[in-house]
């Protein structure tokens, strides 16, 4: 089973992308590309952040519409 969890991806990335990955997730692309469990944790965090930003934007849009009709 362990062999199935360590699938290596061929990724192209810049040094800026590497720095951002280290800062945001605490691991580099080399580790990200080799460890399925780490990739899943990163992608779940990204999904949660995306959903949070969508809710925030929706609230801002509702407030903007409210203010438009209020005046």
Residue pLDDT, tens place only, 50-65: 999 999 999 999 998 8
Is the model's pLDDT at 5 over the cut of 60?
no
Residue pLDDT, tens place only, 12-52: 889 999 999 999 999 999 899 899 999 999 999 999 999 99
In b/e form, how buried is each residue of 26-54, taking b as 16+ CB within 10 angstroms?
eeebeebeebeebbeebeeeeeeeeeeee
Kindly state the tokens that stand for 2.
């362990």
Q: Answer for the pair 20, 46: CB distance below 8 angstroms, yes or no.
A: no
């Amino acid at each position: 089973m362990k062999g199935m969890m360590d699938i290596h991806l061929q990724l192209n990335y810049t040094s800026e992308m590497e720095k951002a990955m280290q800062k945001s997730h605490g691991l580099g692309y080399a580790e990200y590309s080799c460890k399925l469990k780490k990739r899943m944790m990163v992608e779940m965090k990204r999904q949660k952040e995306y959903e949070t930003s969508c809710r925030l934007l929706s609230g801002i849009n509702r407030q903007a519409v409210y203010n438009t009709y209020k005046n």
